[in-house]
Structure 1
Amino acid sequence: MAAKKEISATQVHSMDVDNLSLGTSMQQITVRMMRMWEARNFKKKGELMSLDLLLLDSKGTFIQASIHHRRVPSFRNFLQEGKVYSIANYEVIPAYDRYKVTNNNNTIRFTDSTEITEDEKEDCSISYESFRVLQYSEYLALANTNLQLPDVVGQLLSVQGANLQDTTSTQKIVMLLMLKEKAFTLEGHDEVVVVCTCINPKLFAGTLYLNSTGATKFFFDKGLQIIKDFSKRVGKNKINQRPSVQNEEMTQKTFEKSTLTSLLEYARSSAKQEKEVICRATIASINTRNGWNYVACGRCSKKLVRGLSSFTCTTCNDTNAMGVLKFRVYLTVVDAGEETNFVFFNRDTRKLTNTTAEDINEARAGDNGSNRNNIPLCITDLVGKTMDFQLKITNFNFKSSFQSFTVSKVLREINRSPTEEVITEETLNPNLSDLTYNINDIEKESIPVGETLVSDEVLSECTHAQ
């Protein structure tokens, strides 16, 4: 491996990134390494796939480079963000047409023969700063395409999430950003403007979301020109508010604790009073009768009615509604000899499986429809797990012959032996620190923690990079 081999500028003339040719011929470039991140496969327990680099040349042209995980140890310690390098003897290949972090049609792939040398002269003709910030309409056009991962800049107005003081926590957070000067009139001090890179625009329930990716990084340096320009554009009288911190641990709500036996007895009784309870139970099986997903309205999240050539939303009175695939999973749960059905919807199923219904459907696209109705493995893996569930007992439970309870929130997973079936008021003591989710209508979900809400005036949430 020739990671540190000196390359003479007289031997090989550096060329512009735009002039690179496909193949492995000797082509040298001099570039600044703007950002570096690990590409991991989270479906395989975070397995490292490659080390990816974002490179910038003197003409302001970006190109992405990738180092296969087998070669990463030979280069990682030699690379540093912000440094200028001369790189030669690599392979130029067509860029993948999805999840692009540049507009370049090509990408660089390091080989065993790749030579890279730090430019000690620090070529000042290459900018220290460059971002791909778009207009709102452009984010909207990219929504749900997975084509481009642009950057965004905005004023940080608030931070929301649980365990904000725990640096080891992997729970996602929500950051509310102001994008336009007409969004708010602010007063105060200690403003914070942030640049978030490589975000993935998504359209959900008629609203634009900007999700973080594995390549997302956050920049708060007031010396960055893009932050100076944003502050100047918005105006000093509107960019001087200290961001608020909303720690969900501070918002607590207490619900009645219930065993599965008492839950069923109440539903069979003549009380007929709706209430919310917390119940511990073990998932015994997945009910396959109703499948594992449904097509929801992209505006209101209610189930769509399928027609011959389109979907209809009776709630929005839209005969050509945009459909979004979402989770709906029926589970058979047991405890102390009792058995009933719980229904998981999108938010908690996503949290428990670390994936989305759309991603699963997309992964199965090449199966010719042979297994699209089969229950995904990530869902069947829930069988045998004991959890504390927050449930809402509704009028439906007092009238329906088929007994099922909608799960408003999964509070926590319990590690206990299979023989431990009986729970009591003393043993049931769940952590209620994050009960901030709106459970009035489970299918009309609030924004999941970890996603980004954007309106015409406000961008909400660039999540903690995974």
Structure 2
Amino acid sequence: MSFYVLLANFGAGRCSNTAEVHLLRFWEARNVRKDGELMSLDMLLLDEQPTLIHGSINSSRVDTFRRRLSEGSVYSLSGFDVARANPKFRLSDSQVSIRFNDGTFLETKTDSDKDIPTELFRFCSHEQLLTLANTNRELPDIVGEVSSVRSTIGPHHVMVTLRLEGDVNVCVSMFDDRAVTFQTKFDEHISKPKVILFTSINPKVVGGKLFLNATFGTHFYFDCETSAGKEHYERLVGDGANASSSKSEVVSAQKIEPLTVAELNQYVLAADPQVLALELWP
């Protein structure tokens, strides 16, 4: 029987031990200040403990590993570098992160006997989001009841208003490809979603209002696509929220109230939604 090391036991340096991990999700991190130049392929990995850790593949190695990656699959992973986690834009609570190198071994496990969770999220309350706003320290997750979905600047800017517990509303803002993908999936959904879960959002306060800006790591899930979303959905329906939600109807994309050019410029400049501060390596 193979011996696997838990992610929590890794120290900094080159690691020859093997970890068995669940690939939760991955995405391309691009530099919007350099015409969308690819910086890395980033991911979140989870083991049986469960420990969540951020993994990254430098742009020069993306083609080597991309075709092997499948969200939701379990892998044997060895021969990687372990580095101190970046203190900004954190995607997990781990103090270290994993970096693939030319000697990294990655193999799909189809017969795993490990009890690894299929999902793990880092949810924040409204108060915690306000504390994190404008600090660029954390990219937490959020789930809530859909109040409205609106678009500005055509299909390239979508704003989703969610009602959190305590009847607090927050706005999740998506730009460009994220916005287009979201709107397409939203329009194709059989019925208007009652619950949406967003991952890796960056809290910002602009003009005294809290905005949750999407990043390259932002994924979105409707209603019961995740266990966490399903739990929120069932609690919502069980509480008779169908009737109460009529006071904030979910609508298809539409123009919102007019903004002055100064107000719009302030938001767009302050939002900076797609930039991740990543430490690059050779």
Q: TM-score when scaled to structure 1?
A: 0.49
Partner of 1:226: 228
Q: Which of 40, 64, 70 is matched with 1:80 structurally?
A: 70
Tell me by how many angstroms 1:65 deviates: 0.6
The answer to whether the Cα contact below 8 Å between 1:231 and 1:239 also exists between their aligned partners in 2 is no
Partner of 1:310: none
Partner of 1:291: none
Partner of 1:20: 10
Partner of 2:139: 149
Q: Which runs of 5+ in 2 are unaligned?
A: 170-190, 278-282
Q: Which of 257, 261, 265 is matched with 1:348 structurally?
A: 265
Q: Which of 250, 254, 260 is matched with 1:247 structurally?
A: 254
For residue 157 of structure 2, give the secondary structure of its aligned residue in structure 1.
coil
Partner Cα separation in structure 2 for residue 25 and residue 236 of structure 1: 49
Partner of 1:213: 215
Count of residue pairs brought into register by the alignment: 247
Q: How does 1:33-432 map onto structure 2 within 5 Å?
A: 33-123=23-113, 125-162=115-152, 169=155, 171-180=156-165, 182=167, 191-234=193-236, 235-239=238-242, 241=245, 243-248=250-255, 345=262, 347-348=264-265, 355-356=269-270
Ranked by relative contact order (alpha carbons within 8 Å, sequence separation 6 or more), the top structure is 2
Q: Which runs of 5+ in 1 are unaligned?
A: 1-8, 254-342, 364-466
Tell me by how many angstroms 1:157 deviates: 1.8
Rate the CA distance shift 1:44–1:123 in 2: closer, same or farther, 3 A: farther
Rate the CA distance shift 1:87–1:206 in 2: closer, same or farther, 3 A: same
Tell me by how many angstroms 1:138 deviates: 1.2
The answer to whether the Cα contact below 8 Å between 2:26 and 2:71 also exists between their aligned partners in 1 is yes
Tell me by how many angstroms 1:163 deviates: 7.7
The answer to whether the Cα contact below 8 Å between 1:100 and 1:147 also exists between their aligned partners in 2 is yes
Partner Cα separation in structure 2 for residue 19 and residue 109 of structure 1: 16
Q: TM-score when scaled to structure 2?
A: 0.79
Partner Cα separation in structure 2 for residue 50 and residue 357 of structure 1: 22
TM-superposition CA deviations, 1:40-94 (whole Å, max 9, x none): 0000000000000100000121000100000000000110100000100000000
For residue 133 of structure 1, give the secondary structure of its aligned residue in structure 2.
coil
TM-superposition CA deviations, 1:18-48 (whole Å, max 9, x none): 1001100312111100010101000000000
Partner Cα separation in structure 2 for residue 191 and residue 202 of structure 1: 25
Partner Cα separation in structure 2 for residue 54 and residue 227 of structure 1: 19
Partner Cα separation in structure 1 for residue 135 and residue 160 of structure 2: 23
For residue 119 of structure 2, give the secondary structure of its aligned residue in structure 1.
coil
Partner Cα separation in structure 2 for residue 217 and residue 106 of structure 1: 23
For residue 173 of structure 1, give the secondary structure of its aligned residue in structure 2.
strand
The answer to whether the Cα contact below 8 Å between 1:18 and 1:61 also exists between their aligned partners in 2 is yes
Tell me by how many angstroms 1:248 deviates: 2.0
The answer to whether the Cα contact below 8 Å between 1:50 and 1:69 also exists between their aligned partners in 2 is yes
Partner Cα separation in structure 1 for residue 31 and residue 218 of structure 2: 16
TM-superposition CA deviations, 1:219-254 (whole Å, max 9, x none): 1151522123223444441146562124229x9x9x
Tell me by how many angstroms 1:178 deviates: 1.1
How big is the alpha-carbon RMSD for the aligned residues of Structure 1 and Structure 2?
A: 2.9
Rate the CA distance shift 1:131–1:123 in 2: closer, same or farther, 3 A: farther
Tell me which structure has the larger Cα radius of gyration: 1
For residue 28 of structure 2, give the secondary structure of its aligned residue in structure 1.
strand
TM-superposition CA deviations, 1:413-461 (whole Å, max 9, x none): xxxxxxxxxxxxxxxxxxxxxxxxxxxxxxxxxxxxxxxxxxxxxxxxx
